[in-house]
Amino acid sequence: MPVTSPSTDADLECVQLVKRFGDFTAVDDVSFTIAEGSFFSILGPSGCGKTTLLRMIAGFQRPDGGDIRIKGKSIVALPPNRRPVNMVFQHLALFPMMTVEQNIAYGLKRRKASRAEIARKVAAVLERVGLPELAGKRIDQLSGGQKQRIAIARCLVLEPALLLLDEPLGALDLKLRERLKVELKELQAQVGTTFAYITHDQSEALVMSDQVAVMDRGRFVQVGTPQQLYFEPRTAFVAGFVGDSNRWSGRVEDTNGTEAIVITTNGLTMIATRAGEPALSKGDAVDIFVRPEAIVLGRDADGAGGCENRLPGRVESLLFDGANSRVMVRHPATGGDIMVALPQTGELMGLRRGEDVYLGWRARQATCFAAAP
Ligand SMILES: Nc1ncnc2c1ncn2[C@@H]1O[C@H](COP(=O)(O)OP(=O)(O)OP(=O)(O)O)[C@@H](O)[C@H]1O
Ligand SMILES: [Mg+2]
């Protein structure tokens, strides 16, 4: 799988990293580079090897193969405290009985910084994370979101070349996470420190990152901008993991190389567009993905004009969620449900369960991959 090629302005370069636990390979030949000052996320399901990868970069875990370089210099032989790297853990590891100030000063003290320098840097970093008034508070007097920002401040104050963040928002409730992901992105842009951020939440990765690596079973399956992953997934795994999709398994009935007529296992025939490698041929097993927002929904058949795929349906349920509303439409012939984004124009506001509707989608918006193994 091609990944970003090594470059001289890379802050971090991992080359063919491998980590095994017994005969299980947790990180399997992973190579990538992170450009200086960028926000890089590693996105993957639980157990795919994200934390193991970050721990190798931080120096808490020794790789079984490969190299890790920061600004061109190998760091694999260095102990964690000699690496220009800091890590924010999911459980923030703040000292609960110390004040905010003492927590942030801790690393500087260990480095034997002068009192004046410590005071100046602690004040500056608190200003930067927007919490100068909390300096004298104890950690156990803070809210979850405040603790999270202090944990980041405690790392930033050490001016690392690279900040590693292991699901730092994981312990927070949904509302707070939504807010902090925007704040964290702004903070990163402001301070300009390179961030390597791991998450299993695709929305976090898409919102915050310059580049995202999708990880599956120890390997990077695709590295790209959020837009590339969303619009041009290269494997069925990426298409299924990034964003919402309708997904069918099926078989190629006929193909001209770029487009294919496929029949899904539940009997739906559609024209889909081949994506990724290898080329398909008649009879191949495929996975087909259609995003809810790619489907035209209307009360009469005309609305779907121009779509190569058109079918009637009946509203099975409405999942109203403001701009994010979905309609589940049942296809009578196959009995399958198709998830459709509710158009925001308002004309379908009165849509009811049981109503007859028409669906349509373009062949190029039905992406078809060789079936996932
Ligand atoms: N010290 C260890 N000894 C043995 N196996 C381990 C060890 N650490 C991790 N593993 C295994 O390696 C795999 C990857 O673990 P890792 O913690 O990196 O996953 P993750 O992607 O961070 O998952 P999560 O999203 O749940 O945090 C898992 O199957 C895990 O059980
Ligand atoms: Mg983890």
168-205 confidence digits (pLDDT tens):
887 777 887 888 888 888 889 888 889 999 999 998 99
171/301: higher pLDDT: 301
| Nearest atom (ligand 1) to Cα of 50 | 21
* pLDDT at residue 129 is higher than 70: yes
Supply the pLDDT for residue 91. 65
Protein residue with least CA distance to atom 20, ligand 1: 47
Fold for the domain defined by 244-370: OB fold (Dihydrolipoamide Acetyltransferase, E2P) (2.40.50)
Both structure tokens of 247: 């997904």
Would you say domain 10-238 falls under CATH 3.40.50.1220?
A: no
232-291 confidence digits (pLDDT tens):
898 889 999 998 999 999 999 999 888 999 999 999 999 999 886 678 889 999 999 999
Give the span between the Cα atoms of 127 and 130, in whole angstroms. Answer: 5
Protein residue with least CA distance to atom 2, ligand 1: 21
* pLDDT at residue 305 is higher than 60: yes
**How far, in Å, is the centroid of ligand 2 from the Cα of 101?**
29
Q: Where are the domains of the chain?
A: 10-238, 244-370
Q: Which of 83-92, 102-111, 139-148, 340-349 has the lowest average pLDDT? A: 83-92
Beta bridge partners of 86: 163
CB-based pocket (< 6 A), ligand 1: 21, 26, 44, 46-52, 200
Protein residue with least CA distance to atom 12, ligand 1: 26
DSSP structural state of residue 60 = S
**How far, in Å, is the centroid of ligand 1 from the Cα of 17?**
15
Supply the pLDDT for residue 90. 65
Q: pTM of this prediction?
A: 0.86
Question: Could you tell which of 21, 201, 214 is best to mutate to test the pocket of ligand 1, judged by most ligand atoms within 8 Å of the CB?
Answer: 21
Give the span between the Cα atoms of 137 and 134, in whole angstroms. Answer: 5
| Nearest atom (ligand 1) to Cα of 215 | 21
